[in-house]
């Protein structure tokens, strides 16, 4: 029977629309690469320079408590902008947790020649035996000579899995219990304006990976032999070669510019791995402004990535999975881990627009699609589609930090997620 419901028609066409938008965005890379190094910094992302006409929650708080505004800031020296948001939300694996999201936008040099760095700390706790302490950073040193990114986490992190590809239906999910330690650190040096290259070190350590007594073992459920043994400690340690092209002035809320990152990771036996395995991750983003005024946002953001592993003996939980790239941002409208395979390709487009002229309220509309390799799923032929919309409230106009409330849906799932900062 041919299913031609309006929802399926929308998702089917949406995949091709997303693909077209991505290809259109990719064509712009040639024009950027062709520029002389001196022009890139001048043409790249423009943060709202004069924020006096804009409104954020900090302004509202000052008015309520009659706090006098401080003097206009100088563009010289180090400046830090903090944003804090406590909230309760559902977390992967089921249940609700209390989250306190703290974001810091930091200038470590003159903002005329140094991009804004960001540091995020998002601890959560469900008042039982589940918690997480993630700290992520993306640091630009003075005059953008070096960029340093880090991701450190300690989590007691049960979560659901659905095997490989489309192996299982939504209701046939399996809960996996484990503790997780992640340590990623990458240091890149500027080669020319916008271009960086460097090395990284990565540790993924999952402790006592197991399923509940009444559930099947992970190896039986998945039919996958690596990293699925009962009561296993899954350890991966690797070195990476990284190439970066980044012209976003502000990664917290990019208004225009490009971001391209290529990471080739090798996990050799001499670093503690059971088997040698390799992976590649290619990430591309483009931000297209329709209105060049600094007072009102009207733009399209496009994001695509390819994540692939090359060897057979890759631990199951290290395989490419939706929602497990850096910052765990992909897959709005899907459960985290809903699709996993040896190859993963992802597309997303988001339209962003301010509602109010002072930038306090805004909205987004987004659509995404992913394809993975695995049982009942042919890479690049079988697509999983999601869509949704969201509300934006300006938390800090100087760093561009928004409170982001997103509603996403796909064929078998829908949910609301609250975050501090844009998804990408």
Per DSSP, the three-state class of 315 is coil
**Residues 353, 291: Cα–Cα separation, whole Å:** 10
1 within domain boundaries: no
Give per-residue pLDDT as tens, 381-404.
999 999 999 999 999 998 889 999
Q: Is the pLDDT of residue 71 over 70?
A: no
Task: Check if the beta carbon of residue 415 is closer than 8 Å to that of residue 332.
Answer: no
Per DSSP, the three-state class of 141 is coil
Q: Is the pLDDT of residue 283 over 50?
A: yes
**Residues 93, 176: Cα–Cα separation, whole Å:** 8
Mean pLDDT of 174-192: 96
281 within domain boundaries: yes
**Residues 228, 222: Cα–Cα separation, whole Å:** 8
**Residues 262, 365: Cα–Cα separation, whole Å:** 28
Q: Domain range holding 211?
A: 6-420
Name the helix (H) or strand (E) containing 305: strand 298-309
The enclosing domain of 331 has a CATH number of: 2.40.160.50
| Percent with pLDDT over 90 in the chain | 61
385 vs 72, higher pLDDT: 385
Task: Check if the beta carbon of residue 270 is closer than 8 Å to that of residue 314.
Answer: no
Give per-residue pLDDT as tens, 85-94.
887 776 777 6
Q: Report the pLDDT value the prediction gives residue 24, as an integer from 0 to 100.
A: 42
Q: Is the pLDDT of residue 265 over 80?
A: yes
Calculate the average pLDDT of the chain: 85
**Residues 366, 390: Cα–Cα separation, whole Å:** 8
Q: Is the pLDDT of residue 184 over 90?
A: yes
396 within domain boundaries: yes
328 within domain boundaries: yes
333 within domain boundaries: yes
* 292: Cβ contacts below 8 Å, ≥ 6 apart: none
153 within domain boundaries: yes
Phi first, then psi: give them for residue 74, nearest 5 degrees.
-85, 155
* Torsion angle in degrees (nearest 10) through CA of 7, 9, 13, 14: 0
pLDDT band of residue 363 (cuts 50, 70, 90) is very high
- Global pTM value: 0.85
229 vs 389, higher pLDDT: 389
pLDDT band of residue 323 (cuts 50, 70, 90) is very high
Name which of 140, 98, 133 is nearest 118 in CA terms. Answer: 140
Q: How many residues does the chain have?
A: 424
252 within domain boundaries: yes
Name which of 404, 224, 187, 249 is nearest 309 in CA terms. Answer: 224
Distances (CA, A) of 118 to 106, 107, 370: 6, 9, 28
**Residues 177, 218: Cα–Cα separation, whole Å:** 10
Q: Give the number of other Cβ atoms within 10 Å of residue 109's Cβ.
A: 19
**Residues 209, 155: Cα–Cα separation, whole Å:** 13
**DSSP-derived secondary structure for 225-273:** -SS-STTEEEEEEEEEEEEEEE--SBTTS--SEEEEEEEEEEE-GGGT-
Give per-residue pLDDT as tens, 284-317.
999 999 987 666 889 999 999 999 999 999 999 9
Q: Is the pLDDT of residue 207 over 80?
A: yes
Domain count, the chain: 1
337 within domain boundaries: yes
């Amino acid at each position: 029977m041919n299913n031609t419901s309006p929802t399926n028609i929308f998702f089917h066409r949406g995949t091709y629309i997303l693909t077209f938008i991505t290809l259109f965005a990719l064509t712009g890379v040639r024009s950027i690469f062709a520029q002389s190094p001196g022009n890139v910094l001048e043409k790249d992302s423009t943060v709202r320079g004069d924020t006096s006409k804009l409104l954020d929650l900090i302004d509202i708080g000052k008015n309520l408590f009659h706090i006098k505004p401080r003097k206009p800031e100088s563009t010289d020296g180090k400046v830090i902008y903090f944003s804090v948001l406590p909230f309760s939300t559902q977390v992967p694996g089921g249940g609700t947790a209390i989250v306190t999201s703290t974001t810091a936008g930091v200038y470590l040099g003159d903002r005329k020649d140094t991009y804004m760095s960001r540091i995020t700390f998002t601890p959560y706790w469900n008042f039982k035996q589940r918690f997480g302490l993630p700290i992520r950073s993306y640091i630009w040193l003075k005059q953008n000579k070096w960029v340093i990114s880090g991701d450190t986490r300690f989590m007691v992190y049960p979560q659901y899995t659905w095997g490989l590809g489309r192996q299982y239906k939504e209701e046939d999910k399996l809960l996996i219990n484990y503790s997780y330690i992640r340590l990623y650190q990458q240091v890149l040096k500027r080669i020319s304006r916008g271009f960086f290259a460097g090395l990284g070190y990565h540790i993924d350590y999952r402790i006592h990976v197991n399923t509940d007594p009444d559930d099947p073992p992970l190896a039986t459920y998945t039919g996958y032999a690596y990293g699925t043994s009962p009561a296993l400690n899954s350890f991966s340690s690797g070195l990476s070669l990284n190439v970066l092209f980044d012209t976003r002035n502000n990664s917290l809320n990019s208004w225009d510019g490009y971001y391209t990152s290529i990471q080739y990771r090798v996990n050799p036996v001499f670093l503690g791995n059971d088997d040698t395995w390799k992976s590649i991750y290619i990430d591309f983003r483009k931000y297209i402004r329709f209105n060049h005024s600094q007072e009102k946002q009207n733009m399209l953001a496009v994001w695509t990535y390819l994540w692939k592993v090359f060897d057979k003996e890759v631990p199951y939980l290290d395989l490419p999975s939706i929602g497990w790239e850096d910052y765990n941002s992909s897959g709005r409208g899907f459960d985290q881990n809903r699709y996993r395979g040896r190859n993963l390709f992802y597309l997303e487009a988001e339209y962003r627009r301010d509602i109010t002229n002072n930038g306090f309220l805004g909205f987004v509309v987004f659509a995404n699609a992913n394809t993975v390799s695995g049982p009942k799923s042919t890479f690049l032929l079988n697509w999983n589609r999601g869509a949704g919309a969201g509300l934006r409230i300006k938390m800090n106009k100087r760093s561009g930090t928004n409170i982001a409330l997103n509603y996403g849906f796909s064929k078998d799932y829908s949910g609301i997620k609250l975050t501090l900062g844009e998804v990408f």
